[in-house]
């Protein structure tokens, strides 16, 4: 399965991978070493362009705005639990019963799915989920639909080399996937993924560093994912947006994260500021923000303040009516607040979190519906293409 799965990832991303060396500066807490020094970035405002020597064009940046012709479904944090992820996708009406673990069946027509980040950590099947979502996306595109995955704080942690939430099963999955990449793409990958390392634990950790370090194959894949995405009249972000993010420029935030994950050294001050707003370890960066995640505000004034900030943020985004976030588990399931302008979709479905029953959010025009096992999707529009 993993051999086929490795091929399903973008060959271009694998060719662009810059493999980490296992010598030099230590990776904090990981027990292995840091990636190779990174090259300097062009300013994030610069568009991708062909190589000056006539080589292939630089990798495209992830989208900020897309138009969805049909339903839009928001899927919360799945944290390495492929069983719960599949249940959620079935509830959403996009994953059929006719497929199998290797070849899933898309039945969502022109539905657009947005998974709001945190595929990684706390569960054993992270790479399998990434593969599942990518395979569904390829099928969905043929019917006018799509599957988008956002970057969350746990994707950022892993690209940063912080593996404190990685399960033993996920380390083993990383090692197996690294071995398949070596089989598929040859010796240049061998040392990066543990090579002749005899100690199983060290080999697993080295494989994970090789995959997820900036410029590594899976970091390259994550770089293709947006950190902020606007679909029709809804903006999606893992933690949440603040007015200062919008004022600075959401496109810049997406591009700075993509460059960092691709192994580009961020040297321009504006780009460094963008990266900090997007993924920095401050309480209101896009992936760490919990301003809007509180399920039950302590006081009415706390709620009013959050709704006021939310209103200012959305009012600065023309045509955007609501925000959808994950990041903070909602013990009561998906829910909305501030007159339906904020929706929270992290229900803690992974058994690495609380193992709650999966729920997803369906948006059709101005109608927002929480779907679960009791209220599954019932109006899946078939593609007209």
Active site residue 180: no
Task: Put the strands of the sheet holding 342-344 in their side by side order.
Answer: 65-66, 228-231, 234-237, 322-325, 342-344, 335-337
Tally helices (H) and strands (E) across the chain: 12, 13
Task: Supply 374's token pair.
Answer: 């009791």
Q: Kindly give the residue spans of alpha helices, DSSP state H, lying in the chain.
A: 2-8, 11-16, 82-91, 126-141, 153-159, 168-185, 200-212, 217-223, 243-248, 250-261, 269-279, 300-315
Rg from Cα positions in the chain: 20
Q: How far apart are CA 379 and CA 93, in angstroms?
A: 8
Using left for φ > 0, alpha for ψ between -120 and 50, and beta otherwise, residue 349 falls in alpha
Cα→Cα distances 5→90, 130, 134, 195, 250, Å: 21, 10, 10, 21, 32
Which residues, in sequence order, are bridge partners of residue 231? 66, 234
Q: 344 and 293 in contact (C-beta within 8 Å)?
A: yes
Q: Which of 283, 286, 360, 293 is nearest to 328 (CA)?
A: 293
DSSP tag of 377: -
Task: Supply 173's token pair.
Answer: 């999955």
Cα→Cα distances 303→144, 242, 282, Å: 39, 15, 21
Catalytic residue among 22, 154, 180, 327: 154
Q: Which of 3, 208, 201, 231 is nearest to 102 (CA)?
A: 3
Q: How far apart are CA 100 and CA 95, in angstroms?
A: 10
170, containing H or E segment: helix 168-185
Going through 266-313 in order, the beta strands assigned E by DSSP cover none
Question: Which residues are known catalytic residues?
Answer: 154
């Amino acid at each position: 399965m993993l051999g086929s799965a490795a091929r399903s990832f973008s060959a271009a991303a694998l060719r662009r991978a810059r493999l980490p060396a296992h010598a030099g500066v230590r990776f904090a807490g990981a027990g292995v070493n840091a990636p190779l020094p990174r090259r300097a970035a062009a300013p994030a405002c610069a568009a991708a362009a062909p190589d000056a020597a006539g080589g292939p064009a630089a990798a495209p940046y992830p989208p900020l705005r897309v138009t969805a012709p049909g339903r839009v479904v928001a899927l919360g944090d799945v944290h390495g639990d492929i069983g719960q992820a599949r249940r959620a996708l079935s509830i959403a009406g996009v994953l059929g019963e006719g497929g199998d673990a290797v070849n899933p069946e898309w039945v969502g027509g022109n539905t657009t799915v947005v998974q709001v980040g945190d595929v990684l950590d706390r569960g054993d099947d992270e790479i399998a989920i990434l593969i599942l979502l990518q395979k569904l996306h390829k099928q969905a595109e043929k019917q006018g639909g799509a599957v988008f995955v956002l970057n969350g704080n746990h994707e950022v942690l892993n690209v940063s080399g912080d593996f404190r939430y990685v399960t033993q099963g996920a380390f083993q999955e990383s090692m197996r996937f690294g071995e398949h990449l070596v089989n598929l793409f040859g010796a240049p990958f061998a040392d990066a993924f543990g090579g002749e390392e005899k100690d199983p634990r060290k080999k697993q950790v080295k494989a994970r560093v090789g995959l997820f370090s900036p410029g590594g194959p899976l970091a390259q894949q994550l770089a293709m994912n947006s950190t902020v995405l606007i679909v029709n009249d809804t903006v999606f972000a893992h933690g949440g947006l603040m007015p200062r993010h919008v004022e600075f420029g959401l496109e810049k935030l997406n591009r700075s994260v993509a460059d960092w994950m691709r192994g580009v050294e961020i040297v321009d001050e504006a780009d460094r500021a963008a990266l900090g707003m997007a993924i920095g370890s401050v309480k209101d960066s896009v992936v760490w923000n919990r301003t809007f995640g509180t399920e039950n505000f302590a006081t009415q004034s706390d709620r009013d303040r959050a709704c006021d900030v939310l209103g200012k943020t959305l009012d600065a985004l023309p045509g955007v009516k609501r925000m959808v976030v994950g990041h903070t588990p909602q013990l009561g399931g998906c829910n909305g607040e501030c007159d339906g302008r904020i929706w929270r979709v992290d229900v803690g479905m992974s058994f690495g979190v609380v193992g709650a029953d999966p729920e997803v959010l369906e948006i059709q025009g101005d109608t927002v519906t929480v779907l679960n096992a009791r209220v599954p999707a019932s109006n899946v529009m078939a593609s007209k293409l």
